[in-house]
């Protein structure tokens, strides 16, 4: 287990749970009837895509991490760089193949997500605008991957994918200053992006006739992300910003549960919310950022 743990650490297990929640939210938005288990291929796909993406993040950041985060698996020598690169590429390919088995359209979406992941890690990550945008597009693509279970849902609800882009853009903005501390202006912009997403969820749920079911999920989400972000705004130092980033990532599960409730699938919303304790438990063992 001691040999396996650093490899697991590279995949950010707590974050992988949030990727599964993306797929389930996409199924809810598409109004999938859950008549069979075929969407399991999409769950496997997102595990490969997300896992491969975060592994490649550490591969491309190996030199920087040797200075800023020498305890990480690659700079500490617990995982050779070549082994990590092979692992990351293999996981991305797994994600593409699993989606392709489900459908050609899903496979094409997975390819786009994989390309965006590499572009983010290699080029866009440290850019103040394109970094958050590209990472947000990866997460929005993940929601669309879930919706691809019924492609006809794209025409009506495809624009919902813009909201995860805004949400992840907020987290990425915050995380850019995680090591050295940040600027309050950046944190205020992130708060505005959060507010846009939360307001949109309430608006859509109201139009769907499911506002009362959705409000508790949105309130929980607001509390989970709002408190650490407020603390970071008051004291924008590295540790405070790190807590705000962690809260934003883990709370993706609650955001996805809110989508399920907004589209009238309360049992699925509760099932997605039940993933939160698992993610929090994994976050105690494995780093989220």
3-state secondary structure 191-243: HHHHHHHHHHHHHHHHHCCCHHHHHHHHHHHHHHHHHHHHHHHHCCCHHHHHH
pLDDT digits (tens, 9 = 90+) for 182-221: 678 889 999 999 999 999 999 999 999 999 999 999 999 9
Lowest model confidence (mean pLDDT) among 46-50, 78-82, 110-114, 169-173: 169-173
Spatial separation of the C-alpha atoms in residues 73 and 4, rounded to whole Å: 11
pLDDT of residue 33: 86
With a CB cutoff of 8 Å and minimum separation 6, the contacts of 44 are 94, 95, 98
Question: Does the pLDDT value for residue 180 go beyond 70?
Answer: no
Query: In the prediction, which pLDDT does 239 show?
Result: 87
- Helix axis angle, 238-250 to 252-262, nearest 10°: 30
pLDDT at 228 over 70: yes
250 within 8 A of 276, measured Cβ to Cβ: yes
pLDDT score recorded for residue 96: 99
10 Å Cβ neighbour count for 274?
11
Residue 181: which pLDDT band, with cuts at 50, 70 and 90?
A: low
Q: Identify the band that residue 67 occupies on the pLDDT scale cut at 50, 70 and 90.
A: very high
* Residue 192: count of CB within 10 angstroms of its CB: 11
Packing angle between helix 238-250 and helix 162-175, nearest 10 degrees?
Answer: 160
Q: Is the pLDDT of residue 1 over 60?
A: no
């Amino acid at each position: 287990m001691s040999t396996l743990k650093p490899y697991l650490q590279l995949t950010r297990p707590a974050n992988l749970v949030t990727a599964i929640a993306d797929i389930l939210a996409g199924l809810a938005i598409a109004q999938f009837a859950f008549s069979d288990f075929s969407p399991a291929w999409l769950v496997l796909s997102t595990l490969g895509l997300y896992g491969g993406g975060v592994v490649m993040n550490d591969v491309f950041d190996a030199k920087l991490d040797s200075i800023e985060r020498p305890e990480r698996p690659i700079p500490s020598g617990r995982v050779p760089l070549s082994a990590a690169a092979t692992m990351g590429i293999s996981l991305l390919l797994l994600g593409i193949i699993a989606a392709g088995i489900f459908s050609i359209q899903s496979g094409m979406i997975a390819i786009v997500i994989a390309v965006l992941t590499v572009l983010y890690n290699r080029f866009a990550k440290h850019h103040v605008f394109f970094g958050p945008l590209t990472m947000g597009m990866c997460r929005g693509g993940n929601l669309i991957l879930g919706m691809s279970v019924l492609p006809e849902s794209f025409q009506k609800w495809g624009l919902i994918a813009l909201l995860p882009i805004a949400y992840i853009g907020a987290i990425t903005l915050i995380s850019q200053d995680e090591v050295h501390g940040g600027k309050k202006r950046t944190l205020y912009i992130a708060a505005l992006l959060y507010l846009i997403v939360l307001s949109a969820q309430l608006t859509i749920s109201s139009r769907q006739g499911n506002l009362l079911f959705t409000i508790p999920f949105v309130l929980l989400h607001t509390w989970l992300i709002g408190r650490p972000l407020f603390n970071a705004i008051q004291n924008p130092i590295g540790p405070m910003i790190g807590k705000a980033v962690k809260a934003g990532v883990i709370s993706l599960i609650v955001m996805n549960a809110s989508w399920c409730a907004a589209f009238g699938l309360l049992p699925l919303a509760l099932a997605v919310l039940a993933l939160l304790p698992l993610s929090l438990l994994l976050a105690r063992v494995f780093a989220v950022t």
